[in-house]
Structures are given as structure tokens and as C-alpha cells.
Amino acid sequence: TSVLRACYSRTGPLRGGTLSTFVPGPGIQLAPSGTRKTKGSRGVRGCPGVIGEPGSHSQVKMAGLMFYLMRLVVLPILIIQVYGLDTINILLSIATKLFVKGKKQFIVRTPEENFSNLDAVGYTFKPNYVELPIGGGKALPRLHYVDEGPLDAAETILCLHGEPSWSFLYRHMIPILVKAGYRVIVPDFIGFGKSDKYTYKECYTHEMHTQTLRLLLDHLNV
């Protein structure tokens, strides 16, 4: 008489611990109780007493080998390809900006008439412009700044705006500080207010803004 044995996983019987009826599929036979498997046959892994088709164990090993091959070889190749495509895209973008500048201006300037009505709201200061040299015959885009009060004042107050503001932010404070005897300097960072603007966002960096401020203060002997 053949004895049907339960196949248990590491955490317990299959189907929540309920012994289920096992129906042999094609090529699978039940091992009689107390008998040994014949030479050349391989049991189904984890199911004592169930004899599978010859060679099924090698198929499992081959599947495992393919799995590790995918992880160790194919997956790294795909990752390298993705990063490579991203690098190529960046290089193409830079090349386009360098060789096709004629289609898009690199630096733009806000028309002066856009600021014509600011007197009515308290922005009545004389505009000052400078193109700060950065060496090699090159200069930064034209920078605008407000410089009010006596040049020989005992103290100078530097007012810096944030994003998305400009020197207009201090229009009410500047007259008060000047009246108190201070020299007041309020620059428009490049890309803001009356200063010129880069058309490519990659040009805007923290280093660029700090360099602009340092060069401006050197220019004003502050």
C-alpha cells in the first residue's frame, strides 16, 4: 500500500497547516512507505517520499544559476547603460548651448521703461551700473546697485535681498538709514531687478553670487 506523506515548509504545513490532498502530476509517482528511491531518480525538494522526473534537480540548479547571472552581470550592465545615457544627455545639452547660442541669448537685460513708475511707490534712487572684471579680459554681466548717503560716512550698511526680490525691497528703509548718517549700499544680484540676467539656470550658483558681491565691494572700496 502506498503511503501519502505531507510536504511541510520550514514554517509549517502547506495551506496554513491543513493537510491537503496531493494529486500526482505527469511524471510524478508516489514512493511506497519504507522503500528507497531508485538509482537515477531525484526526489522533489522538501517533499520526502515524492519522486520527481530524472534531471529536475539540475533544472532547479540551472534556474538558480540564471538568477545569480542576472544579478551579477546583466543588472550592472543595465545600470551602467542608464548612467551612460544620462551623461550623454548632459554633454549634448552643453554642446547645444555652446554652439547654438544664436538661437537663444545668453544674457538679457530688462528694459529701463519697465521701471519707469517706481517713483510713485518710493523707489527714487539714482541707478548705478558696473561690469565687474573677472580676469582674462572678461567681465560679469552688468550689475545694478543703489549707493546712497555720504561716501565718507563712519559706517556703511550693506543691504542684501533674497529670492525673488531685489533692491526695491529696501525702498522705505534706505531713506531712514541715510538720514541717520549711514552710507547704504544695496546691490541687485545678477538675475534680479535692474541687473542683467543669465538665460541658463546652470549659470546661477552660490559661488557666482558671492564672487559678485566681493568684487562689488572691492570696486566701491568698502
pTM (global) more than 0.75: no
Question: Is the torsion defined by CA of 125, 130, 134, 138 positive or negative?
Answer: positive
Show me where the domains of the chain are located.
8-54, 59-100, 107-219
- Give CB contacts under 8 A, 24+ apart, made by 43-51: 44/7, 46/7, 46/8, 46/9, 47/5, 47/7, 48/5, 49/3, 49/5, 50/5, 50/7, 50/22
pLDDT in tens, 37-70: 444 444 444 444 444 455 566 777 777 777 777 7
Task: Return the pLDDT at 79.
Answer: 81
Task: Return the pLDDT at 9.
Answer: 42
**4-18, 59-73, 121-135, range with the lowest pLDDT:** 4-18
CATH code of 107-219, in short, is: 3.40.50.1820
**What's the grid cell of residue 63?**
534556474
pLDDT in tens, 78-122: 788 777 777 777 777 766 666 655 556 899 999 999 999 999 999
Task: Return the pLDDT at 98.
Answer: 64
**Whole-number Å distance between alpha carbons of 222 and 203:** 27
Q: 152, 163, 141: which is closest to 208 by C-alpha?
A: 141
Number of neighbouring beta carbons within 10 Å of residue 98? 8
H helical segments located in the chain? 14-17, 56-69, 75-99, 173-179, 206-219
Pairing of strands 183-188, 156-158: parallel
Number of neighbouring beta carbons within 10 Å of residue 185? 22
Please answer whether residues 189 and 207 qualify as being in contact, where contact means their C-beta atoms are separated by less than 8 angstroms.
no
**Residue type (1 letter), 98:** L
Give the angle subtended at the CA of 176 by the CAs of 175 and 178, to the nearest 5°: 65
Task: Return the pLDDT at 216.
Answer: 98
